[in-house]
Amino acid sequence: MTSGGAPFRNNEIITSTANARVKLIRGLRARREREHSGLAWVEGIRPTVEALQLNAVIDTLVVAPDLLTSDFARDAVDVARVEGIDIMEVTNAVFRSLSDRDGPQGLGAIIRQQWLSLPDIRLAEGDRWVALASVADPGNLGTILRTCDGSDAEGVILLDTSTDPYDPAAMRASMGAVFSRRLVRASFEAFAQWTRAEGATVVGASDRAPETYREADYGARTVLLMGSEREGLTTEQQTLCDRMVSIPMRGRSDSLNLGIATAILLYEVLDRREHEA
């Protein structure tokens, strides 16, 4: 064991930032490389340990032994080693070249992305999903994933040109929820067909909707359809919705951040489910 700061290295430590594997990790900052390889880079103790505990498919665990001072994290590395996960040890300087944090913690992982397709999803009574139409901000997406985890919603369906949940900013904002929630990519057309086939109640949000979110009927199989940060839902997207709801704004602001608006609706649906039970 390594608790108390004892060294756990038994591999040759990587000292060069020009190492091929180190360069691969840096390349994962770009969406094009993530999509090409099917890999992503997660950094930090909590999200990396979440990946380990939630059985994410880990290609390589990356450890800077001299930066990793947490006994909790060192024990997690020990468990990973016993389980046969590949561990790449690097110097502090190499790890800092991979990090986008001010104070890197010395633990990260190369993970394999996990996606489902819409035909894989069968809605059951009580299910709650979020569908995002062209969400652009990775931080918003990560926050929504974290809220889905907190409210125990099933997952997120990303439509058309939405941002990447495996973007480093989205991963950081999700606090590991990217590993606990299901992720789906689909076109809007395929999504529309799926919601009809599955008997979903699609609920959209608009500041012009006459019905408030507390008045609406969310149905037994709920999909919240949320529009892009700048434009909201298009006319075509609103037409698909069985309900359009608004969130009352009482001050000078005329709208809420996408992540906050989604959270309000998710917890409203959760509250309905719990009272119905």
Assigned token pair, 91: 């110097």
Q: Does the CA dihedral 159-160-163-167 come out positive or negative?
A: positive
Which stretch of 101-105, 182-186, 257-261 has the lowest confidence by average pLDDT?
101-105
Mean pLDDT of 161-172: 94
Bridge partner list, 27? none
**Cβ contact 243:201 at 8 Å:** yes
**Cβ contact 45:105 at 8 Å:** yes
- Report the pLDDT value the prediction gives residue 78, as an integer from 0 to 100: 96
- Report the pLDDT value the prediction gives residue 105, as an integer from 0 to 100: 95
Rounded to 10°, the helix 71-82/45-53 angle is 30
Model confidence band, residue 46 (pLDDT cutoffs 50, 70, 90)? very high
Q: Which domains does the chain have, with CATH numbers?
A: 20-112 (3.30.1330.30), 118-276 (3.40.1280.10)
The radius of gyration computed from the CA coordinates of the chain, to the nearest angstrom, equals 21
Distance in angstroms (rounded) separating the CA atoms of residues 52 and 257:
31
Bridge partner list, 211? 245
Q: Does the CA dihedral 272-256-100-19 come out positive or negative?
A: positive
Assigned token pair, 205: 């949000």
| Pairing, β 182-186 against β 155-159 | parallel
pLDDT for residue 8 is more than 80: no
For residue range 64-115, what is the model confidence (pLDDT) as tens digits? Answer: 999 999 999 999 999 999 999 999 999 999 999 999 888 899 999 999 999 9
Model confidence band, residue 11 (pLDDT cutoffs 50, 70, 90)? low
Rounded to 10°, the helix 138-151/258-276 angle is 10
Assigned token pair, 79: 């468990």
Model confidence band, residue 5 (pLDDT cutoffs 50, 70, 90)? very low
- Report the pLDDT value the prediction gives residue 275, as an integer from 0 to 100: 87
User: Mean pLDDT score of the chain, rounded to an integer?
Assistant: 93
Model confidence band, residue 252 (pLDDT cutoffs 50, 70, 90)? confident
Percent of the chain with pLDDT over 70: 96
pLDDT for residue 10 is more than 60: no
For residue range 188-220, what is the model confidence (pLDDT) as tens digits? Answer: 999 999 999 999 999 999 989 999 999 999 999
Task: Look at the block and give the residue holding tokens 């001299």.
Answer: 66
pLDDT for residue 2 is more than 90: no
Distance in angstroms (rounded) separating the CA atoms of residues 185 and 164:
10
Percent of the chain with pLDDT over 90: 87
**Cβ contact 275:157 at 8 Å:** no
Distance in angstroms (rounded) separating the CA atoms of residues 44 and 109:
9
Distance in angstroms (rounded) separating the CA atoms of residues 262 and 128:
12
- Report the pLDDT value the prediction gives residue 3, as an integer from 0 to 100: 43
Mean pLDDT of 26-39: 96
- Report the pLDDT value the prediction gives residue 100, as an integer from 0 to 100: 87
For residue range 211-248, what is the model confidence (pLDDT) as tens digits? Answer: 999 999 999 999 999 999 888 999 999 999 999 999 99
Mean pLDDT of 161-185: 95
pLDDT for residue 7 is more than 70: no
